[in-house]
Amino acid sequence: MATLELGAQGSNSELWRELSSALSTHLEDTRTQCLTSNAASEEELVIDVTEALWAFNHAGHVDEGLQTLANAVLHGLGSAADSRLHDSGSSAVSSLQELYVSSAGEEPLRPEIVLELRDRLVCMKPPGWAVYLKEDDPEAQGMAPLLQLHLQAHLPQRQWPIIHDQDQHFGFLHRLDVPSSGLILVAKTYEAYYDCLLQLSTGTLVREYTVLSHGWVPVGRAEIRRRISAPEGLRSKISPAGKPSRTLLKVLAHAQHGSQALSLLAIRILTGRRHQIRIHLAHIGHASVCDGKYTALETFLGDREWCPRNFLHRHRLAFQDQSGDMREVMSPLPADLRASMRQVDPKDEASRPALLGLRRDCCQLSV
């Protein structure tokens, strides 16, 4: 979409006003008409609107009037989809598959629903679970249990059709890599899904992570802006032809594992490209610990001796609920990563409080 590129380039204010006026006119026409019942057309409109609002927000030309209008249109589309599809699906309820066991023959950790509202929920994804299945995604294949099926067992199709709708990503607003852990936001209705997409586009939805990386990241390093190309089935990479991507970070502590230098980071992403944190950190020479994709094999094998998986945990989500009130959900560092942290020593006294505190609480990034 043209506005996506304009957002990356930061075009002049006059052009943005013209774009805002044109999009507002289009949305007004959509709102005054009978909202289309063509699912493909609805999905295309939702994508166009959310991408346009992301571009406005990214370029620093926030138009509150346009956001209010877009919110009304998307809520209307979502409400219409809920009315049309509710109770029209199969009565069959998916159940968790017995084959979902670890390679060692033991049951994996189970996901936990940590907050459930009327139209959306937050789930804690354990390591070793895929979020949902895509045919062309090799990370979601094989024996990895699916969070998708776990929620489908909890939310039957006749009552919650979006949880069974592949075209809308089964209600998931974002993903986490199979080895990673953390909080996942899921919409239980189409109206909530479109609302959360709007929050993603305007920066209202906050995602923060705890990461242990290689090397001592300079304390003054607060942001990474590099375009990311993420072709299906291939590794993500930094590329001038990629999509604009922005990562905020805060150095919480410098640490050591033997002679190995490490940094404890709190990270917030303002875009959601595949493997964004991992590729951005690797690009600046501070790859996350135990990252099998973006570090040398020798480094990865050395990390595996004391850390069981990629050291990346989404510890905080903040978003607006159906009433517009902000909700915040926190998740402490899982036991396996806390065990790894017990093998890490602070570089200096200034780093000691953050390292010790991490074993009790999660880290927060204030921007």
Active-site residues, by number, are 177
Question: Is 184 in contact with 170 (CB distance < 8 Å)?
Answer: no
* Separation CA 56–CA 70 (nearest Å): 13
* Separation CA 23–CA 2 (nearest Å): 12
Neighbours of 62 (CB within 10 A): 14
Alpha helices (runs of H) in 155-291, residue ranges in sequence order:
190-202, 276-283
Cα separation values, 78 from 26, 45, 132, 196, 251, Å: 18, 12, 22, 11, 40
Crossing angle for the helix pair 64-85 and 39-59, nearest 10 degrees?
160
Q: Looking at the DSSP assignment, which residues form a beta bridge with residue 131? A: none
Alpha helices (runs of H) in the chain, residue ranges in sequence order:
2-9, 13-32, 39-59, 64-85, 147-154, 190-202, 276-283, 297-304, 335-341, 352-358
Exposed (0-12), middle (13-18) or buried (19+): which is 76, by Cβ within 10 Å? middle
Structure letter (DSSP) for residue 294 = T
